[in-house]
């Protein structure tokens, strides 16, 4: 199986009050297509920073990022933007759905930005809403959906451009345990069916144990 994500000797430091703070000290990791990996670690250890670097939202101080076989130079803004749009899907703790658009439209807009034709975009939106059990809620605005339904729409939106890699930051962190379980199950099933690689930040060790592999971030290293 091919790797969809490789991080090689990733370092990230900040200057604060004249002192150098080393958040990441040389992280190495790889994720294969179809593999779901949990990332655990104490609050403030740099999990979100690592996720943002993997998602090309933040530059490392040094190190190499390879997305689906393509090496990304830290300064190549157009390449980074193209890869974020076509190869990477993001799910956050909050759903960040557009409130003035119905669920289906929240899945259509990112496809239009990626220049998917309208017929194909509509087909994908319908199929993904079906896969997360929301085909009957496609014409509902986010405010008309429950928290679990909103997060399932967010998961579908993250996958609608058929990325190679999904990055999720505490995707069930805002949900009650029962709802979180349902959303998590849907997310795992959808990722596995699409054979996408996924890196999921979570504090929930029980959920982490149901993924393919667990990584621990501690003292700036995995």
Strand partners, 32: 3
pLDDT > 90? residue 14: no
Q: Could you give the CA distance from residue 157 to residue 103 in angstroms, rounded to a whole number?
A: 9
Q: What pLDDT is attached to residue 93? A: 84
> At 183, is the pLDDT very low, low, confident or very high (cuts 50, 70, 90)?
confident
Concatenating the DSSP letter of every residue in 2-71 gives: -EEEEEEEEEEEEEETTEEEEEEEEEEEEEETT-EEEEE--TTSSHHHHHHHHTTSS--SEEEEEETTEE
Q: What pLDDT is attached to residue 74? A: 67
- The label of the residue with tokens 């805002």 reads 174
**Model confidence pLDDT, tens digit, residues 101-120:** 999 999 999 999 888 999 99
Does the model's pTM come out above 0.75?
yes
Q: What pLDDT is attached to residue 1? A: 60
Name all domains of the chain by residue range, CATH numbers in brackets.
3-216 (3.40.50.300)
> At 75, is the pLDDT very low, low, confident or very high (cuts 50, 70, 90)?
low
**Model confidence pLDDT, tens digit, residues 120-170:** 999 999 999 998 999 999 999 999 999 999 999 999 999 999 999 999 999
Q: What percent of the chain has pLDDT over 90?
A: 66
């Amino acid at each position: 199986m091919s790797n969809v994500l490789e991080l090689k000797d990733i370092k990230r430091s900040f200057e604060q009050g004249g002192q150098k703070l080393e958040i990441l000290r040389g992280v190495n990791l790889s994720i294969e297509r179809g593999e779901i990996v949990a990332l655990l670690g104490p609050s403030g250890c740099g999990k979100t920073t690592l996720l943002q670097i993997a998602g090309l939202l933040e530059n490392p101080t040094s190190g190499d990022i390879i997305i689906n076989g393509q090496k990304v130079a830290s300064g190549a803004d157009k390449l980074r933007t193209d890869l974020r749009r076509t190869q990477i899907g993001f799910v956050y703790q909050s759903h960040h759905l557009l409130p003035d658009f119905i669920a289906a439209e929240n899945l259509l807009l990112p496809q239009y930005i990626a220049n998917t034709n309208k017929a194909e975009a509509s087909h994908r939106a319908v199929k993904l809403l079906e896969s997360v059990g929301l085909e009957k809620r496609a014409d509902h605005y986010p405010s008309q959906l429950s928290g679990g339904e909103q997060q399932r729409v967010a998961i579908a939106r993250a996958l609608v451009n058929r990325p190679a890699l999904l990055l999720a930051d505490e995707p069930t962190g805002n949900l009650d345990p029962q709802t979180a379980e349902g959303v998590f199950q849907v997310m795992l099933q959808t990722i596995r069916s699409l054979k996408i690689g996924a890196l999921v930040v979570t504090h929930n060790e029980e959920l982490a144990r149901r993924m393919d592999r667990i990584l621990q971030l501690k003292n700036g290293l995995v």
